[in-house]
């Protein structure tokens, strides 16, 4: 087992990529992997282009570009400059939600699932009071295992505040483990309260991570989200076992996270920037709608708004129960495999 404590991985709310890399040379590589393309996730933002050509909008993020001299390059939104935050809001509609609102909305999900209010906590103004004692499943149609396995998705997840609430993304305040309100945090509480052996905890903690999903366009936010999930696992593991998880286990969890928290253009269901023009076979002298300057035609999906006709790479996600991947689009009404 590792001698490091989880607090060594972060300075304040930020998880340093150098620290993640120091745990295991392969761990950061896994967190940067795009499972659809087999390459790395993309920057998908122009915020870093001033650092050089390798920081271009659709260039891959490699470990060397976020460690060493660039160790503090990627920062949570709350630590960015005011001008940078305004720019992200203007250009990509990036607006993060305070934890008390995330809690309200997550409570509505659980109210429907359990058939009653105030399951995990009771709201009070812009805070909440944690429910004491184990969560009861009396009167529920399903048991605690079904709750852990229930699939949850955070769209345009940013740093994933609806899934894991390590900190308030608006105030930057760190949230103690016992007070966390994310969808995955709630599952981990259920795992803690209902597993009696270390083996059961490991099985159901993994299933909890397999059940939550999120997608994000911008690569820096996506990496932060993945790190937040991995670090949350470390914290819950340390709470249960009073020691750090070993490298093979961390790699397994990171592998799951890299599948479930993926990079996607949410309007197209494709890898950002992957749509390409198609060569024009024939067209009349005057019928040149959709033609690009070089004589090729636009991506049919981009030209028509038809989400099923994009030439880009449709993103794939993993169904862990069947151990098969499928396109995210295939899960949508009217989508295709």
pLDDT band at 332 (very low <50, low <70, confident <90, very high): confident
- CA-to-CA distance for 173 and 22, rounded, in angstroms? 26
pLDDT exceeds 90 at position 284 = no
Q: What is the 3-state secondary structure (H, E, C) of 306-336?
A: CCCCCCCCECEEEECCCCEEEECHHHCCCCC
**What's the pLDDT tens digit per position in 288-300?**
555 555 556 899 9
Mean pLDDT of 294-307: 85
Neighbours of 324 (CB within 10 A): 9
pLDDT exceeds 50 at position 3 = no
Q: Are strands 316-319 and 212-216 parallel, antiparallel or unpaired?
A: unpaired
Mean pLDDT of 68-73: 94
pLDDT exceeds 60 at position 2 = no
**What's the pLDDT tens digit per position in 49-64?**
999 999 999 999 999 9
pLDDT over 90 percentage in the chain? 77
**Distance between terminal CA atoms of the chain?**
42
- Domain boundaries, given as residue ranges, for the chain: 6-92, 99-263, 271-337
- CA-to-CA distance for 209 and 137, rounded, in angstroms? 21
Question: What is the per-residue pLDDT for 13?
Answer: 79
The answer to whether the beta carbons of residues 27 and 21 sit under 8 Å apart is yes
Neighbours of 270 (CB within 10 A): 25
Mean pLDDT of 315-323: 96
Specify which residues 174 forms β-bridges with. 167
pLDDT exceeds 70 at position 311 = yes
Question: What is the per-residue pLDDT for 260?
Answer: 98
Would you state the structure tokens that stand for residue 143, as one six-digit string? 């048991």
**What's the pLDDT tens digit per position in 100-150?**
999 999 999 999 999 999 999 999 999 999 999 999 999 999 999 999 999
Question: What is the per-residue pLDDT for 285?
Answer: 47
pLDDT mean across residues, the chain: 89
Mean pLDDT of 83-110: 76
**What's the pLDDT tens digit per position in 241-274?**
999 999 999 999 999 999 999 999 999 999 999 9
**Residue carrying structure tokens 């399951």:** 119
Question: What is the per-residue pLDDT for 83?
Answer: 55
What DSSP assignment string belongs to 107-148? HHHHHHHHSSS-SSEEEETTEEEEPPSPPP-TT-SS-HHHHH
């Amino acid at each position: 087992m590792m001698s490091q404590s989880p607090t060594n991985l972060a300075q304040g709310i930020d998880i340093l990529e150098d620290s993640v890399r120091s745990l295991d040379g392969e761990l950061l590589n896994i967190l940067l992997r795009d499972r659809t393309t087999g390459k790395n996730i993309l920057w998908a933002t122009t915020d870093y282009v001033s650092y050089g050509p390798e920081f271009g909008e659709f260039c891959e993020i490699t470990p060397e570009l976020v460690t060493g001299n660039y160790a503090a390059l990627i920062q949570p939104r709350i630590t960015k400059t005011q001008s940078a935050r305004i720019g992200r809001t203007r250009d990509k509609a990036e607006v993060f939600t305070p934890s008390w609102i995330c809690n309200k909305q997550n409570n509505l999900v659980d109210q429907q699932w359990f058939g009653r209010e105030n399951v995990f906590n009771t709201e009070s103004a812009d805070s909440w009071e944690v429910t004491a004692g184990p969560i009861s499943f009396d009167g529920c149609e399903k048991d605690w295992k079904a709750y852990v396995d229930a699939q949850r998705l955070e769209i345009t997840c940013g740093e994933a505040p609806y899934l894991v609430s390590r900190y308030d993304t608006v105030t930057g305040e760190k949230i103690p483990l016992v007070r966390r309100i994310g969808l995955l945090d709630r599952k981990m509480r259920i795992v803690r309260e209902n597993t009696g052996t270390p083996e059961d905890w490991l099985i159901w903690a993994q299933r909890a991570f397999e059940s939550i999903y999120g997608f994000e366009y911008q690569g820096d936010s996506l990496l932060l989200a993945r790190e937040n999930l991995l670090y949350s696992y470390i914290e819950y593991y340390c709470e249960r076992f009073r020691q750090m998880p070993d490298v093979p286990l961390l790699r397994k969890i990171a592998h799951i996270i890299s599948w479930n928290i993926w990079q996607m253009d949410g309007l197209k269901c494709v890898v950002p920037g992957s749509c390409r023009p198609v060569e024009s076979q024939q067209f009349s002298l005057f019928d040149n709608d959709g033609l690009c300057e070089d004589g090729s035609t636009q991506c049919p999906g981009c030209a028509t708004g038809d989400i099923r006709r994009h030439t880009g790479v449709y993103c794939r996600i993993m169904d862990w129960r069947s151990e098969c991947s499928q396109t995210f689009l295939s899960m949508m009404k009217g989508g295709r495999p």
